[in-house]
Amino acid sequence: MTSSRLEAFSDGVLAIIITVMVLGLAVPKGASWTDLVHTSGLGLLTYVLSFVYIGIYWNNHHHLFQLRPVVDGAVLWANLHLLLWLSLYPFTTAWLTQTRVAEVPTVVYGLNLLGAAIAYMVLQQTIAHRPGGARIRAAFGRDLKGVISPILYLIGIGLAFVQPWIGLVPFVAVAVIWLVPDRRVERYLNAQGPLGEAADDEEDPA
Amino acid sequence: MTSSRLEAFSDGVLAIIITVMVLGLAVPKGASWTDLVHTSGLGLLTYVLSFVYIGIYWNNHHHLFQLRPVVDGAVLWANLHLLLWLSLYPFTTAWLTQTRVAEVPTVVYGLNLLGAAIAYMVLQQTIAHRPGGARIRAAFGRDLKGVISPILYLIGIGLAFVQPWIGLVPFVAVAVIWLVPDRRVERYLNAQGPLGEAADDEEDPA
Amino acid sequence: MTSSRLEAFSDGVLAIIITVMVLGLAVPKGASWTDLVHTSGLGLLTYVLSFVYIGIYWNNHHHLFQLRPVVDGAVLWANLHLLLWLSLYPFTTAWLTQTRVAEVPTVVYGLNLLGAAIAYMVLQQTIAHRPGGARIRAAFGRDLKGVISPILYLIGIGLAFVQPWIGLVPFVAVAVIWLVPDRRVERYLNAQGPLGEAADDEEDPA
Amino acid sequence: MTSSRLEAFSDGVLAIIITVMVLGLAVPKGASWTDLVHTSGLGLLTYVLSFVYIGIYWNNHHHLFQLRPVVDGAVLWANLHLLLWLSLYPFTTAWLTQTRVAEVPTVVYGLNLLGAAIAYMVLQQTIAHRPGGARIRAAFGRDLKGVISPILYLIGIGLAFVQPWIGLVPFVAVAVIWLVPDRRVERYLNAQGPLGEAADDEEDPA
């Protein structure tokens, strides 16, 4: 069973999530710069943040399935489980925006981010433990980013109880950390060599 | 005529159905946990339930077309007929939620589920009776889940007239039963052996 | 240049059109059968009608591109032109429904249907006049349905000025006529023989 | 790493953007031609304009990836960056329409168009500077349209401060200029010969 249809379906869901969030952006009643900033400014910022998260998941998902894992029922459901968490982003993003970053909505947004991160780890582990998963485990090696992300989400959730805006800082930090996509896989596919901790710069020889 | 485009189109429709339901989730006006539970709690539960149903159909659809059936006009329309029923899930789910599981909306939700189940059976039968369908009929053998599901939906519809919440129990039961995807097909593709009634556990040798 | 990406994009647009129409269905405030019929009954009927139209276009589009036409800039734009007309269906369907089939909305709905039919003819002609189009022209032969459809739409538009509900009759007739997908193409691909006017029944030998 | 999944994902996002804009079209309360023109006339015009822009980007994107560029992390993100700008079209189009082409919304619409044009140039440059990009740079040669477009957008933005409706003229001009898709690529793929400035007419020998 190949992964092509799982990828196509996931692409569809992610494409829709990334796009429907824009439907949640309130269009200003007035026609001035002030109206734009007041009505839509915060919404645009949270939109871009959630867009980046979905983009990160799409990139990593793309890299993960480049490894051509075995796709069976367990992988299909682990993937749907991830998509379920991601599909809630438009909802939690809208609540965060409409309450102008209040305490509980920030915590809920963080829990949504954390849930998706855990679901991605579950998907990765499910794939790594199918037949032939040794190859995939080798491609991952030490998953530093994957370990740091949920910790940062937890810190953000904790800080949100103190001051919601400060809680957003670790969330944004995760986005920044992941903006560089998963080079481990690219490197493995290109080199098939041992995985060191070499610099992840843009000039990787292809 | 290959099934690749039918699959791509169905993936698109299912991806959109699964995602637009989240647009139906009411965002709380307030910013407290109580607001979240009161405004969105039930909506989140019914969202997850409908998400799981669509996920089940996607998984089973995926498995069905792995058998590479002949695709002609009759199959195209049997497939669109299924998509029509599934596309009504966001509507019936929203009504169920907004009336907080009232009697008639629960019955209508059940009828929607039943209609989709019948449409899937029609699609399966249409495919099984194309040229070369003997191979597909062999892969299905005794379709226990397929027979039980509409019966459970009918029981749920009946119970909904007594007490709507109790009517949801058989609906949820169907979701649980189907969460394990259609191993019959996986087994057939892997083994091409006779189809016994062996246990459907996660540890199937691939 | 292959048509695969044009098909994928068209599938995406059609899948979304077919699905977002359901977002236009008003969810009843009340929880009774009367509320359902009164608030959503007409909407469900027009939804199914527009769903069938989009399904017809998808099927015919699918058949058309099975002929592997040359895809260049002119074909890309003829295809986008068709998608533009089809993308207006949710809008004209919603107006038709909300005015409960008033005169002008029925005429506008008919003009939308007519525009899409003409756009499909333009696409078909554009494809037939690319290099290698002789093969495609042969597959079409006498395009009876394609000629009748715009005439029926025109009759419907005319009748709508008399009595809107009567205007819908020829529109529904077109849907019924086209529900049988374009067998000319299937027959050509299977037989490569001369195209007679044999009966278009479900039992075509494959 | 092939570009097929990047293309599929982009197709999905563009298909959704092009389609969800129709959800922003206000359905007239009344049932007369006057109601239609007054409530939806301007919205239909701006819808068609934005539809054409998205169609142009899809066509050019399609042509660009026909050149089979190397796809790595930098290309994935340059592509997502473009999609981010394009995903804002429904929002800026809605504001432009609802304020009936007021000054600031016209400027913001122009900035959105400009941002997408720059993002496309960045994507093109990113691709042209991957390994093997010499072939791609050769296919582009003198990118006249690509240079003129942002200049026209800037002129439109400037004119919008004088009179918003006049500002729309250069925006529309860009759409007209680009309606002819990127023949440079088609020509390169067909001929692999030197790139002159020959006429871009519809009768290019295939």
Q: Which residues of D touch A31 (CB under 8 A)?
A: 95, 99, 102-105
Contact assignment for A179 to D9 by CB distance below 8 Å: no
Q: What is the pLDDT of residue D142?
A: 63
Distance to chain D for C88, nearest Cα, Å: 7
Give tens-digit pLDDT for C60-118: 898 888 887 888 888 989 999 999 999 999 999 999 999 999 999 999 999 999 999 99
CA-CA distance, B156 to B89, in Å (whole number)? 17
| pLDDT confidence of residue C158 | 96
Give me the sign of the Cα torsion angle C184, C190, C192, C197. Answer: negative
State the pLDDT confidence band at C182, using cuts at 50, 70 and 90.
low
Higher-scoring residue by pLDDT: B132, D49: D49
User: Would the CB atoms of C91 and D8 count as touching at under 8 Å?
Assistant: no
The percentage of residues in chain D with a pLDDT greater than 70, rounded to a whole number, is 84
For C9-49, write each residue's pLDDT tens digit: 898 899 999 888 888 888 999 999 999 999 999 999 999 99
Closest alpha carbon within chain C to D182: C73
What is the rounded CA–CA span in Å between residue D84 and residue A48? 8
Within 60-89 of C, beta carbons closer than 8 Å to B belong to 62, 66
**Which ipTM did the prediction report?**
0.82
- Binned at pLDDT 50, 70 and 90, residue B141 comes out as low
Judged against a pLDDT cut of 70, whether residue A38 lies above it is answered with yes
pLDDT reported for residue A197: 33
Residue tagged 């299905």 (tokens) = B140
User: What would you measure as the largest C-alpha separation in chain B, in angstroms?
Assistant: 60
Looking at residue C131, its pLDDT comes to: 78
Residue A142 has pLDDT above 50, yes or no: yes
Dihedral (Cα; B80, B83, B84, B87), 10-degree rounding:
-150
Q: Exposed, middle or buried: residue A162 (CB in 10 Å: 0-12, 13-18, 19+)? A: exposed
Burial status of residue D200 (CB atoms within 10 A of its CB: 0-12, 13-18, 19 or more):
middle
**Cβ atoms of B90 and C25 closer than 8 Å:** no
* Angle, in degrees to the nearest 10, between helices C42-66 and C164-178: 40
Lowest mean pLDDT among A10-14, A106-110, A184-188, C173-177: A184-188
Chain A nearest-CA distance from B56, in A, is 9
Contact C5 D11 (CB under 8 A): yes
Give the pLDDT confidence score for residue D25 in this predicted structure: 87
| A83 vs C195, higher pLDDT | A83
- Calculate mean pLDDT across residues B4-26: 87
Q: Is the pLDDT of residue C206 over 70?
A: no
At residue A190 the predicted structure's pLDDT band, cuts being 50, 70 and 90, is low
For residues B18 and B51, the answer to whether their CB atoms sit within 8 Å is yes
| Residue A34 pLDDT class (50, 70, 90 cuts) | very high
D87·A31 Cβ contact <8 A: no
Which residues in C lie closer than 8 A to residue D14 (C-beta atoms)?
Answer: 9, 12
User: Residues D99, D100, D106, CA angle at the centre, nearest 5°?
Assistant: 75
- Render pLDDT for D39-94 as a digit per residue (tens, 0 to 9): 999 999 999 999 999 998 998 898 888 887 888 888 989 999 999 999 999 999 99
Are residues C16 and D15, on separate chains, in Cβ contact within 8 Å?
yes
Pair A185, A139: CB distance under 8 Å: yes
8 Å CB contact between C28 and C39: yes
Cβ of B186 within 8 Å of Cβ of A1? The answer is: yes
Q: Do D179 and C95 touch (CB under 8 A)?
A: no
**Nearest of B139, B10, B116, B127 to residue B73 by alpha carbon:** B127
pLDDT at A204: 35
| CA gap A183, A49 in Å, rounded | 22
Residues of B in contact with A3 (CB under 8 A): none
| Token pair for D188 | 């390169």
| pLDDT the model gives residue D26 | 87
Question: Measured between CB atoms, does A180 come within 8 Å of chain D?
Answer: yes
**CB nearest B91 (choices: C11, C25, C48):** C25
Contact criterion met (CB < 8 Å) for A16 and B14: no
Q: Rounded to a whole number, what is the distance in Å from the CA of B168 to chain C's nearest CA?
A: 16
Q: Which chains touch D (3 or more CB pairs under 8 A)?
A: A, C
CA distance from start to end of chain A: 29
Encoding tokens for residue A56?
């990160």
Residue whose structure tokens are 């599981």: B101
DSSP string, A37-105: IIIIIHHHHHHHHHHHHHHHHHHHHHHHHHT-----HHHHHHHHHHHHHHHTHHHHHHHHHHTTS-HHH
> Does the pLDDT value for residue B40 go beyond 80?
yes
Count of beta carbons in the 10 Å neighbourhood of residue C6? 22
pLDDT for A206: 36
A66-122 per-position pLDDT tens digit? 887 888 888 989 999 999 999 999 999 999 999 999 999 999 999 999 999 999 999
Residue B206's pLDDT is: 36
What's chain A's average pLDDT?
A: 84
**pLDDT for position A97:** 93
Q: Does B55 touch chain A (CB under 8 A)?
A: yes
User: What's the whole-number mean pLDDT along residues D117-145?
Assistant: 81
Rounded average pLDDT over A171-199: 62
Give the closest-approach CA distance of C74 to chain B in angstroms: 23
The tokens of C126 are what?
């554009």
Output the pLDDT for position D196: 34
B162-171, D167-176, D188-197 — which is least confidently predicted?
D188-197
- Token look-up 């119970």 returns B159
A40 interfacial to chain D (CB closer than 8 Å): yes
pLDDT, residue B189, reads 60
Q: How confident is the model at residue C2 (pLDDT cuts 50, 70, 90)?
A: low
Say what angle helices C4-20 and D4-20 make with each other, to 10 degrees.
Answer: 40
**B12, B17, B87: residue with CB nearest C11:** B12
C199: confidence class by pLDDT, cuts 50, 70, 90:
very low
Contact D76 A204 (CB under 8 A): no
- Stronger pLDDT, A38 or D188, i.e. the higher one: A38
Distance CA A165, CA A102 (A): 8
CA-based radius of gyration for chain C: 18
For A23, what's the count of Cα atoms within 13 Å in the CB-facing half-sphere? 25
- Check A12 against B11: CB less than 8 A apart: yes
DSSP-derived letter for residue B205 is -
Residue recorded with tokens 């009567």: C166
Residues B46-58 pLDDT 10s: 999 999 999 989 9
Q: Give the one of C13, C70, C73 whose C-beta lies nearest to D15's C-beta.
A: C13
pLDDT beyond 80 at C159: yes
Task: Give the pLDDT mean for A39-57.
Answer: 92
pLDDT for A143 beyond 90: no
- The token pair at B42 is 């039930």
Judging contacts by C-beta atoms under 8 Å, the chain C residues touching residue D181 are 73, 76-77
**Cα angle: B54, vertex B56, B62; to 5 degrees:** 100
Q: Is B8 on the interface with C (CB under 8 A)?
A: yes
Chain B interface includes A9 (CB < 8 A): yes
Q: What is the mean pLDDT of residues B199-206?
A: 35
User: pLDDT category, D201, cuts 50, 70, 90?
Assistant: very low
Confidence of residue B99 (pLDDT cuts 50, 70, 90): very high
Contact by Cβ (8 Å): A149, A114:
no
pLDDT at D141: 63
